[in-house]
Structure 1
Amino acid sequence: MSVSQPAGANVAFKQMNFEHPDGPEYARPRGRGQNPAVQKEIESLDPVKDCQRIAYLMVAYEFPQEINHALSMAYFGSGATKAVADILGRSDFRADPVKRFEDTKFLIWKFMESGWDNDQGLRAIQHMNKIHGHYKIRNENFRQALCAFITAPVQWIDNFGWRKLTENERQGWLNFWVRVGELMEIEDIVKSHEESAALLDSYFTGDEELSEYSPEIGETQFQAFVQFAPWYKKPFERYRIRALMTPGLARAYDLKYIPLPGKLPVVFYYKLNAVARRYFSKFAYPYNIDADRGLLTYPEQPPIVEDAGPTYIVNRIKKKAAEATAAQ
């Protein structure tokens, strides 16, 4: 276990327990640029046994912005399939969509940066399992979500990353998520990027049954994402998201699909951003979720792992744990 405290960190950050797989820490060369030593270390690692370290270096140093964007869009698509949309529609999803998104992001980022060999990462996975246990989620839908986490960041980085992924990174990322899937007790886990992408494509054929809740879920998520956006981006946020949608996702949310010519301003923005990212990045180095003051639900400090999630489910989990302790 390592605890990272970058130079210049404020007192609150220094008090945080930032766990990550063991290895050297890096500083930005010339203040804001990318450090080539990070990629050099990644290429020296084994994509199987060192996949936790590779994933950490990707989310903390090399691609935090890209992976954040990719997983946000993957999250946005969570209500596009009927089974998941029906679960969300019958839950308290609409009550506080911002908190739901930020709790999900917090837990996922916790185990991406910590891995399962560190306490916080393993607790985050276990806590997510307990939350999911309160819903009737089919293995098929878990597989779909897992494939989204595998495929979405790879495709985003290939299209909009400041550099392309190396084969070592691609395999390390895949192996990391395969193991996460095993810890979540998902069956029939994909074994390749090609299989993952094909499985995702199979869910959106254009003739699948849709949920009556999907349009409302889509609108709720639009509203949440507009809240996240800085003031100068708010007027364009809906257009940005719609321009990134696939035809299947637009159909699920009962939206008109934006064809390629209409997408070009957004594509150009991200392509330009990718060039700029080679020399400058606003993200912390290393980025870690505990120090992210952009979480609207937790502006002062992040939650502990076991407090993240729907409040009524978190309370049930705590009550059950207390009863088990009292019975011992």
Structure 2
Amino acid sequence: MGVLSAVHAPGRYANLRRIQQLDPEVDYDEIVRLTARHEFPWDYVQGTGIAFMRDYGVPSIAALLDRTREFEDHGVKRYDDTILIGDEATLDGIDSPRSHAALRRLNRIHGHYDIPDEELAYVLATTIVGPVRWISAYGWRPLDPHELVALAKVTTRFGELMGIKDLPTTYDGYLALLVDYERQHFAHTPASTRLAEASIRIARTVAPAPLKPLTRRVMIAVMDEPLREALGLPRQPRWFVRAVHAGLRLRGRVLRFAPPRRTPYRHRPTTYPGGYRLADLGPIAMLDDLNRVAGAANG
């Protein structure tokens, strides 16, 4: 558990002990629930957010996302919908009726565009590599091998339900996919910068008031250099980057003294303060068509 793990809050490792007792080949839904919603909820969200920005570094993906103007015109809704579809797909288990309904809706949204399988596979890889990298760097404890196996199982099943073929089945496989794809395709375009700046504005909008002034600089500081360069964002002073990383690592050490989370984390969408339905999720211009098709399928 690490050198410093002997000093921690009572019960802090109870969830980890539970995870280690489970079989990740069978109990992957439960393990992912404990990891993402109890052990590392904030870290998981931050890692996923930075992961989504990696998509902008691929010119063909950036061109499509830029052309839709969803980030520019409906940014906070786009942000909320992305997280909520992920929630819908995992809250009751990846093969639950709720999950299958969410993935059918996601597939209908993607069906409006011509997206190659290799791009979908890369985007899927970012959703597992991003959180794992973040937690490895800043989490209050290292991820257990059982967690990596479970995350890969859920990620692969998510991709299969999207119709993506020949996906990796391990975390190392997704990491290799991401690294190889970025080595071949990462490049800066004006669209990538527009998308990055739009995403930073979204983050500033949903950030707590005291953090809003530093949102842009902090987001750039946590990016690796290939990503920052691909997005065309300005280099931050070394002292500032070191301070941000040190602050995040300190937060992780402090959290060892926090009690385990009792209730699972749920995203609180700014767009839907009174709650949402699956029929609310998706680009505004598509909603009528999406819901008409969904209604016909259910009728």
Q: TM-score, normalised by structure 1?
A: 0.81
The match for 1:138 is: 116
- 2:272 is aligned with 1:298: yes
- 2:102 is aligned with 1:124: yes
- 2:291 is aligned with 1:314: no
The match for 1:12 is: none
Maintained 8 Å contact 1:80/1:214: yes
The match for 1:278 is: 256
Deviation, 1:154, is: 1.3
CA distance in 1, matches of 2:163, 2:280: 22
Maintained 8 Å contact 1:33/1:278: no
The match for 2:6 is: none
Q: How many residues align?
A: 290
Structure having greater relative contact order (Cα 8 Å, sep ≥ 6): 2
Maintained 8 Å contact 1:51/1:173: yes
- 2:139 is aligned with 1:161: yes
Deviation, 1:73, is: 1.0
The match for 1:51 is: 28
Maintained 8 Å contact 1:243/1:262: yes
Maintained 8 Å contact 1:205/1:248: no
After superposition, the C-alpha distances for 1:68-119 in whole angstroms (9 at most, x for unaligned) are 1110111223322111111111113211111101110111122233222333
The match for 1:106 is: 84
Q: TM-score, normalised by structure 2?
A: 0.88
Which one has a larger percent helix, Structure 1 or Structure 2? 2
Maintained 8 Å contact 1:70/1:156: yes
Q: Secondary structure at the match of 1:204?
A: helix
Query: Which structure 1 residue ranges, 4+ long, deviate > 6 Å from structure 2?
Result: 281-284
CA distance in 2, matches of 1:283, 1:129: 33
CA gap of 1:243–1:206, structure 2 versus 1, over 3 A, is farther
Q: Which amino acid is the alignment partner of residue 32 of structure 2?
A: A
239, 243, 246: which is aligned to 1:265?
243
Deviation, 1:284, is: 6.7
Deviation, 1:261, is: 4.4
**Greater shift in the superposed pair: 95-104 or 212-221:** 212-221
Maintained 8 Å contact 1:85/1:214: yes
Maintained 8 Å contact 1:83/1:211: no
CA distance in 1, matches of 2:244, 2:206: 18
134, 155, 160: which is aligned to 1:177?
155
1:9-88 matches, cutoff 5 A: 35-88=12-65
Deviation, 1:314, is: 2.3
- 2:199 is aligned with 1:221: yes
Q: Which amino acid is the alignment partner of residue 267 of structure 1?
A: H
Identity %: 27
Deviation, 1:183, is: 1.1
CA distance in 1, matches of 2:297, 2:101: 18
- 2:230 is aligned with 1:256: no
- 2:177 is aligned with 1:199: yes
Deviation, 1:184, is: 1.1
After superposition, the C-alpha distances for 1:8-54 in whole angstroms (9 at most, x for unaligned) are xxxxxxxxxxxxxxxxxxxxxxxx97643322221111111111111
Q: Which amino acid is the alignment partner of residue 255 of structure 1?
A: L
Q: Which amino acid is the alignment partner of residue 101 of structure 2?
A: R
Maintained 8 Å contact 1:131/1:314: no
Structure 2 unmatched ranges of 5 or more? 1-8
CA distance in 2, matches of 1:300, 1:321: 23
**Greater shift in the superposed pair: 254-263 or 109-118:** 254-263
The match for 2:3 is: none
CA distance in 1, matches of 2:69, 2:296: 25
CA distance in 1, matches of 2:77, 2:10: 33
Structure 1 unmatched ranges of 5 or more? 1-31
Q: Give the root-mean-square deviation of aligned CA atoms.
A: 2.3
Q: Secondary structure at the match of 2:91?
A: helix
CA distance in 2, matches of 1:135, 1:34: 48
